[in-house]
Structure 1
Amino acid sequence: MKASLKLEYSLRVLAQLARRNKGNTVTRIEELAKLEAIPQNYLVQLLNELREGGLVDSRRGKAG
């Protein structure tokens, strides 16, 4: 079975967030993009879909 790149990126991001979510910390998009070698603009779109699906939470601004 061949998974799409979108699915692969989604799973990698969710796994990275799960590893980093000790103590309810905030992980910046820039950091996630660098850690997982995912283009930042694409990651923004992907995280928006995951947020709309209720899989991740997001914050805007300095604390987000």
Structure 2
Amino acid sequence: MEISCKSEYAILALLEMATHYASGEPMQIRQIAAQQNIPDRYLEQLLATLRRGGILKSQRGSKGGYLLAREPWKITILQVLECLEGLDIRTGEEEINRKTLDSSVVDEIWQEACQAANSVLQKYTLQDVCEKRDSRRQLDVMYYI
């Protein structure tokens, strides 16, 4: 499994917004794009999707831009991926009953893997990602001193 470019860019943009969350100021697309090296037009589409999904809110006007709709410690990586990718690991029992024994065994293993991945993604919030990044930055600084 790999994270899509779309999801990676969105998480990077949200990480930038989580970093500036305390200021309460909205961030403009060009600011985020420049900081995270994301194409402006693509980022615009991603942020619109996240806004429709309730992850972000937008503010109009000259000082407008995008803000997190909730605190960074309340937005999980799983919620972001579900919003962008439409992830849904549930399978109906009726679907399993129509499959062969071999394919249903493979499906059960895949469902278990998806549930394990979802468990990890549900555990991490934007705040956690910020903290991990900050601790790695400190290690890098200490290493070069």
TM-score (norm 1): 0.92
Kindly provide the amino acid, as one letter, of the partner of residue 5 in structure 2. Answer: L
Q: Per-residue displacement from partner, 1:6-59 (whole Å, max 9, x unpaired)?
A: 010111111110111113111111100100100000010000000000001111
5+ residue gaps in structure 1? Answer: none
Percentage of pairs with the same residue: 38
- Once residues 23 and 8 of structure 1 are traced to their aligned partners in structure 2, the CA distance between those partners, rounded to angstroms, is 24
Alignment of 1:24-35 (within 5 A): 24-35=24-35
TM-score by length of 2: 0.43
Give the number of equivalent residue pairs: 64
Letter in 2 for 1:55: I
Question: Deviating runs (4+, > 6 A) in structure 1?
Answer: none
Larger radius of gyration: 2
From the two aligned structures, give the one with the greater helix fraction.
2
- Give the alignment's Cα RMSD to 1 decimal: 0.9
Which stretches in structure 2 are left out of the alignment for 5+ residues? 65-145
**Structure with more of its chain in strand, by fraction:** 2
